[in-house]
Amino acid sequence: MNQNKKQQYAELAAQAEALVSSETDVIANMANISSLIYWALADVNWAGFYLHKEAQLVLGPFHGQPACIRIPLGRGVCGTAAQDNQIQLIEDVHEFAGHISCDAASNSEIVLPILKDGKVFGVLDLDSPLVARFDEQDKVGLSKIVEVFEKSLNLEVGK
């Protein structure tokens, strides 16, 4: 990982930790993390969450253009990430069979599953207008932010 990107993600993870470490409201935490990512990373036109509910993903807090509200598991990049519990790093979404286009300006995407109690809770989804915007460095850095968020899920009161 180049030092600049590594440092940027270390700072983002620390900022995410500060935002969510003492907050128990999952919606507030998703809203702050999606805002943090959207405004901090260059060439990102959508950053947000989908929540796993009843064999589908349902739109959660995000920043960017209006998005698809419901995505069946196994469909599109988000549904595939959730069904397979695998990070999806897609250099060109137009080459991904079954891609769901919510924003015609998006050309690359990375989706990271979020786990709670060993089960997929949802996904973190980032889109970019650039082809091949996301790489292994982004995968590692965003995984650290997902880990921070997953820890905050354990703070939930009354769940």
Domains and CATH numbers, the chain: 3-153 (3.30.450.40)
Q: Does pLDDT of 21 surpass 60?
A: yes
Site of tokens 């209006």: 66
Q: Does pLDDT of 89 surpass 50?
A: yes
Q: Name which of 67, 24, 55, 61 is nearest 119 in CA terms.
A: 55
Please, which pLDDT band fits residue 156 given cuts at 50, 70 and 90? low
Could you tell me the pTM of the whole model?
A: 0.93
pLDDT of residue 159: 43
DSSP 8-state secondary structure symbol assigned to residue 90: E
Q: Convert the pLDDT of each residue in 43-54 to its tens digit.
A: 999 999 999 999
| 69-74: average pLDDT | 95
Quote the mean pLDDT of the chain.
Answer: 92
Q: Does pLDDT of 141 surpass 80?
A: yes
Residues 6+ apart with CB under 8 A from 17: 148
Q: Convert the pLDDT of each residue in 91-121 to its tens digit.
A: 999 898 776 777 678 899 999 999 999 999 9
Calpha distance 92→34 (Å, rounded): 22
| 1-8: average pLDDT | 81
Please, which pLDDT band fits residue 2 given cuts at 50, 70 and 90? low
